Structure 1
Amino acid sequence: MEPISMVQATEGGGTAYPLGVNTVLAGKMPPPGLTNFFYLSDYRADETKDSSGHDKANIENFDLHVQALSMRMDYVYKDYSLLGAQVESRFALPFIKGDVSFDVKTPAGRVHRSEHQDGVGDLMLAPLVLGWSSPRFHQLVGVDIFVPIGSYDEDRLFNPGRNTLSYGPWYAFTAFPMENLEISSKLIYLINGKNSATHYRSGHEFNADYNIAYNITREWQLGLNGYLYKQLSDDEQHGETFGDGNRGQVVAFGPSVKYQTPEIGFVMKWQHEELVENRASGDRFWLQAVYRF
């Protein structure tokens, strides 16, 4: 969901998967019935890095601001089980607004480029999610499918959609090694299709969202959250490796605060990015809410 193919890794510099979204209680399935999740994210970056983690040599005054409002609906089936697991289906749809501007050094002088776009992003479907639970350990497995329905034009600097079909098998867990201590993570391996407009295929990606947190009261939790992202194979265009492979990397960390009752919950998160390669480098803020019917 992040832009600028000319200055970042993977096509458009982002990933179909929203990095850092699944941290708190990542492996715990909701109760039977319908649960709604709402996500508001704000990402700001004023740096873009090369393959060595240094500022891009030909880019100056880089500024990127991406906001997303998403809704996810989970339905846990009451009367079905598979392999001893509860069964769930979920989908999510984002609305994305992005602004980007930068100066490019050229032999003819400095060229300023900028763009603003907003629109619907790509649809995420997870038709079958399996969940196993015990009092201190919860785990989920599934496959996220990202369907390219979002707004896209190959001539834009920024696109809410990616124009590629992607899918990612994943595993998530939530453990309580002590009564008030939570350790959660979602690990996903993302496989990208080819963009038919540009003949570009982004490399395979691995990401691990995480949360380590302590419940200071029954309702309130404080924690450390973030994500570990690594692109594992080269980008390709027209069947050839693009540049030096253009592989992205980032480590993000920051504080989180959660308030939860049996019916509703709220999470605020800040994720600061370091060790960045072939991507923008910035900060991501989240406000998340859940409501159970």
Structure 2
Amino acid sequence: MRTHLPLWGLCLLAATHAVHAAEGGGSIYQHGTENYMVGAIPPPGLYGMVYGNHYRTDRMNSPTGENLQLPGFKVRASAVVPRLVWVSGVQVLGGQLVAHALAPLADIEVSVGGMRQRKSGLGDITVGAGLGYHHSPQLHSAVAVDVILPTGSYTQGDLANLGRNYRAIEPIYALSYVDPQGFNGDVRLGYLFNQRNKATDYTSGQELHFDYAAGWGVGNGWTVGVGGYYRKQTRLDRQGGASLANSKSSGMAIGPSIKYDSGKGWFITAKWQSEQRMKNGTQGSAFWLKAVMPL
């Protein structure tokens, strides 16, 4: 159960350009967060994880995927996200009981139409619990439920917000196939149930998404391959009790991905991903680092 990273909420005056899509052209889940080993729960114990991310874009897309060419539009966002994972020795329904919490620390700068705003601080905290399964030395899986809490600062009408001002509940399924000398494949599938933003009476539509990685173990702890994500909004956004036409978002990303496993209980992954075919949202690129270590 390697979970998501809700880093920021963008409020880009997008309503004036007929863009809705998860309120402001974003999502409460930071897509592409996860990488290799996403479904492989470690042995019982306490583990520390740190994510690092840098995202940049100068493009906001329409419902048909065309560049809206907003004047002066740019987003630059970075985050460091500590995460604590506890794997118990308790067996439930044949799986290891696991719980976690993460707290993103983000810095975001948004410019559009001659206006500019920058904010730094705590984003939306995530807590969750799940079960991990080890089907063979290579095949592992996990099921979980995460809750994203509206702890990040939010001001209606601001260009940049650190939080999205609503809760979300996400059931998760993750699967990993791990072979140090062969194929490695990982997927984290989630479905977002977004709650209402009380400040705007806006409810972002439900969303299906998955992060993925595929690579080959080349020896000495190294795995190289590709990674990214796919997302598709399944329900229209709603505001004031009415559904908003053309408000569904979708898109994908792909790029090179690498992992180094020390063989001593800690490993690190890195990837760069380019977003493609985005509809109703920003289209940019991101660089990710993730480190995992026993405490």
Instruction: Give the deviation of 1:114 after TM superposition.
Output: 1.7
Q: Are the equivalent residues in 2 in contact too, given 1:129–1:141 (CA < 8 A)?
A: yes
Instruction: Indicate the RMSD between aligned Cα atoms, in angstroms.
Output: 1.5
Which residue of 96, 119, 122 corresponds with 1:86? 96
Paired position in structure 2 for 1:71: 82
Q: Give the aligned residue type for 1:69.
A: V
Write the distance in 2 (CA, Å) between the matches of 1:179 and 1:132: 22
The secondary structure found in structure 2 opposite 1:25 is coil
Which residue of 85, 103, 110 corresponds with 1:100? 110
| TM-score where L is the length of structure 1 | 0.92
Instruction: Give the deviation of 1:198 after TM superposition.
Output: 0.8
Instruction: Give the deviation of 1:237 after TM superposition.
Output: 1.0
Structure with greater proportional strand content: 1
For structure 2, list consecutive stretches of 5 or more residues without a partner in the other structure. Answer: 1-7
| Residues 1:45 and 2:57 are matched in the alignment | yes
Write the distance in 2 (CA, Å) between the matches of 1:25 and 1:249: 25
Q: Identity of counterpart residues, as a percentage?
A: 32
Instruction: Give the deviation of 1:25 after TM superposition.
Output: 0.8
Runs ≥4 in structure 1, deviation > 3 angstroms? 176-179
Q: Are the equivalent residues in 2 in contact too, given 1:236–1:245 (CA < 8 A)?
A: no
Q: Are the equivalent residues in 2 in contact too, given 1:12–1:158 (CA < 8 A)?
A: no
Deviation sequence 1:112-165 (CA, Å, 0-9, x none): 222111110011011x21011021210100011001111111131111111101
Deviation sequence 1:35-63 (CA, Å, 0-9, x none): 11100100000111000100116x22211
Alignment of 1:134-283 (within 5 A): 134-176=136-178, 179-242=181-244, 244-261=245-262, 262-283=264-285
Deviation sequence 1:8-28 (CA, Å, 0-9, x none): 521132222221112211110
| Residues 1:25 and 2:26 are matched in the alignment | no
Write the distance in 2 (CA, Å) between the matches of 1:40 and 1:223: 19
Write the distance in 2 (CA, Å) between the matches of 1:263 and 1:174: 17
Q: Are the equivalent residues in 1 in contact too, given 2:12–2:159 (CA < 8 A)?
A: yes
Write the distance in 2 (CA, Å) between the matches of 1:196 and 1:149: 14
Write the distance in 1 (CA, Å) between the matches of 2:107 and 2:247: 25
Write the distance in 2 (CA, Å) between the matches of 1:13 and 1:6: 10
The secondary structure found in structure 1 opposite 2:10 is coil
Write the distance in 2 (CA, Å) between the matches of 1:180 and 1:2: 39
Write the distance in 2 (CA, Å) between the matches of 1:52 and 1:132: 41
Q: Are the equivalent residues in 2 in contact too, given 1:98–1:158 (CA < 8 A)?
A: yes
Q: Give the aligned residue type for 1:31.
A: P
Paired position in structure 2 for 1:109: none
Instruction: Give the deviation of 1:208 after TM superposition.
Output: 0.5
Seen in structure 2, the aligned counterparts of structure 1 residues 259 and 60 have a Cα distance that, compared at 3 Å, is same
Instruction: Give the deviation of 1:177 after TM superposition.
Output: 7.7
Instruction: Give the deviation of 1:167 after TM superposition.
Output: 0.7
Q: Are the equivalent residues in 2 in contact too, given 1:2–1:66 (CA < 8 A)?
A: no
Paired position in structure 2 for 1:288: 290
| TM-score where L is the length of structure 2 | 0.91
Paired position in structure 2 for 1:6: 13
Q: Are the equivalent residues in 2 in contact too, given 1:168–1:191 (CA < 8 A)?
A: yes
Q: Give the aligned residue type for 1:95.
A: L
For structure 1, list consecutive stretches of 5 or more residues without a partner in the other structure. Answer: 104-111
